Structure 1
Amino acid sequence: MSQKPLIVIVGPTAVGKTGLSVELALKINGEIISADSMQIYKYMDIGTAKATPKERKGVKHYLLDEITPDEEFSVARYKELADRYIDEIISKGKLPIMVGGTGLYVNAVTDNIKFSETICDWDYRNQLQILAETNGNEYLHKMLEEVDPVTAQRLHTNDTRRIIRALEVYKYTGIPISRHQEESRKEPSPYKLAMIGLTMDREWLYQRINERVEIMIEQGLVNEVQKLLDMGYNKEMTSMKGLGYKEIIDYLNGETTFEQAIDILKRDTRRYAKRQLTWFRRDKRIHWIHIHKEDSKKELIEKCLKYIAEIGIM
């Protein structure tokens, strides 16, 4: 079976993936699949930097506003939907472009990782959740470190949902989830990949991150978070633990001042961008494009088109 074409655009938050991908889609008759673990949620637009209908310029986007903030959503579910939407786009004679900064989502598709949905023990998950709440997230992270140091290294201490999933897989198979993923990668990918990474000087990126946070505040991030709380969503939900939401919730609850919340959000977003770059730099398939301040959008698009043509997708 011949491989299906898939263009992938990755990079740290605030590097300009969204704007570039829309312009690229317009050039090559493409449609966009979001690879962002926060943009799947409805009602969460400002804090996730979701492209507005105007910014999408008529280009169809998939995996935005897929679920409500109280719904569970797994990487396996993401892969299932992304694979389906890729087929749908190709069936229309268009090119699929996956865009985002959630490395786990990107790798689930590009590495053809298999996920066993048959392993599901809610009692064990609840036990682990209680352990985290009682002893702290670090306790759970150390448990994972003992049985699967590879996965522990790539998961943030506070990513309890994925830590619990990794511990659950190990309990029932005796094999680390990282080994399961490694075995999956040995199978040939169904996709012919053109993977493009966007990067820029760190000082400029951090400046853009700080400016983006300020714009989010101006656009009404505080009101967006308050509205979500009024709708019944709360701090304990995975969705509400995302950047931009947990910091504002702490402010609204009187746990921090407004200025402290903004400073923490800027700091944590910069740290997140650094982790994203570390993740993606491990993937040797990615062709990196370094963005300079003097680069025009036209020049960046031409660089992308040149690489895509070299891969043989166009």
Structure 2
Amino acid sequence: MMQNFLLKEVATFEQFSSVKVSKDFNPLFDIEKKSKQSLNDYCQCLIDRSFSITHSQIPEFICHHCTLVADPVSWLNKFEKLLSLNDELFIGARNHNRHVKFMVSIETKRNKILDEISSHLKTKPAKKHINAESDDRYFSFYELKQDLMALCCDDDKIVLLTKEKFDYQQSNIEFLNINTLEYDKQCDKEIEHILALQVLQYEIAKKIAEKPPSEYLMEKITLHGPLNIITNAFKQMMTSVQPTGKPYIRKRIKEVADFLADNFVDENGNPLSKETLQTYLSPGRNDKDPNSDVMIKF
């Protein structure tokens, strides 16, 4: 029989969901298992089934095939790839919608399976850490705090807390731990805590931004000795001509005095006088130079 939707490319399925014909064989969904079924044959049958079922049957079709394989997530991944590789077959508005419906249904089913796996792997906390239990789940703020720590964004934390709060309020509680606070109230408290920290962080950042730049300057260096030792060192660098014909430092006396005053204090922590610094830096005031035995020579 001529096939209307010829396969363009195969996906490397590691497990086939085909079954032998029996009284339980579903002619709408099932693919007949043959003795020498090739990968190409199996993929073609899946494509044929993808077009033969109605839009409303797509989620059920996917769920049905997931029950026929050992690793449904792997099968879903391969089926998704098969549809992507052959998306050219889904031309036209109706078939495009069919393709979208398949992709959404695959994603939904895969997420559901992964969530179930995750919930089974998750170790239930000790009884003392469980606030309450309903007919289908438990509520542990101790566990919720750990989940919150894994989130970086405050908005995501608030969304999770709000969701948990309403899940609790809408559940039929069968067990309530009287030694813990009510779950929804703890969620509210945590939301208040997050919002309060946001306000505090904003105020701190605002206060820092308003500080003048001078407050961020590094701690000044303390001079343990006569002031004229450092001024003479700078004076030498300003006046002694190097082999290049230029002094080591080419700055005006006032600029050097400002630099020293801004970066140094005396041994008692007191600021240096700019007027005194300018006097000591003046080439004509050799009487303010230190004795030769303590002078720094260049």
Instruction: Identify the TM-score tier after normalising by the shorter chain.
Output: under 0.3
TM-score (norm: length of structure 1): 0.19
The structure whose Rg is larger is 2
TM-score (norm: length of structure 2): 0.19
Q: Which has the higher contact order (CA 8 A, sep 6+)?
A: 1
| Structure with greater proportional strand content | 1
